Amino acid sequence: MTKSRTLPLSKRGMNFETLMWYFTRLSALAMYALILFALIGGLVMGARNQMNFADVMRWAFMPNSTHVQSTDVPDLAPWATYFWRAVASLLLFVASAHGVHGLVVIADDYIAGSTGRKIVRLLSIVMLASITVIGAYVLWTS
């Protein structure tokens, strides 16, 4: 097998794209931490006899109390606290920043013209930024 040429991370140049490259990977790890944390919350909440698999998954991927309204968990008040809203908001912000960059990368790959790329780039950023604000509003008012 031919040996692949690699450059240590410390010897690579730093610009915005490199920074976003790092961000995409590190935010993936952050989401792993947040989702596993929320998953533990879901297991504590009532996975043994009050929630089914889909309920636990809904809570794990976004710990918002309206996500588990339809379960048999007797009291949801301890799960609608500032703490869990903050966890959910953090997950929302990290995920949407990761997602905006993903959309921009995909647009760059499939749209060859520079004007089209700029338009789709701007649309992706505006769309996901506004969705993040709306999402945060829903999280803190539900």
Partner 1 sequence: MGLSRNVSLWTGLRYKGQGPYLTFILHRVGGLGMGIFVTMHILVSFLGGSVGTFLNDVYKHWAFQIFIFFCALFHAINGLRITILDLFPKLIEHEHEAIWIEWAIFLPVFGISALVIVMTALGG
Query: Which residues are at the interface with partner 1 (CB under 8 A)?
Result: 1, 3-4, 6-9, 25, 28-29, 31-32, 35, 52-54, 57, 61, 66, 95, 99, 102-103, 106, 108, 112, 114, 127-128, 131, 134-135, 137-138, 142
Query: What is the phi/psi pair of residue 3, to 5°?
Result: -80, 130
* Residue found by looking up tokens 């789709």 in the block: 120
Shorter beta-carbon distance to partner 1: residue 44 or 138: 138
Share of the chain residues as helix, strand and coil, in percent rounded to the nearest 5: 75, 0, 25
To partner 1, the closest distance from the beta carbon of 99 in angstroms equals 5
The dihedral through the CA atoms of 10, 12, 18, 21 has a sign that is negative
Burial 76-99 (b: 16+ CB within 10 A, else e): eeebbeeebbebbbebbebbbbbe
Chain CA centroid to CA 29, Å = 11
To partner 1, the closest distance from the beta carbon of 61 in angstroms equals 7
To partner 1, the closest distance from the beta carbon of 81 in angstroms equals 20
To partner 1, the closest distance from the beta carbon of 32 in angstroms equals 7
Shorter beta-carbon distance to partner 1: residue 78 or 102: 102
Sequence-ordered list of residues with C-beta below 8 angstroms from that of 129, at least 6 positions apart, any chain: 96, 100
To partner 1, the closest distance from the beta carbon of 15 in angstroms equals 12
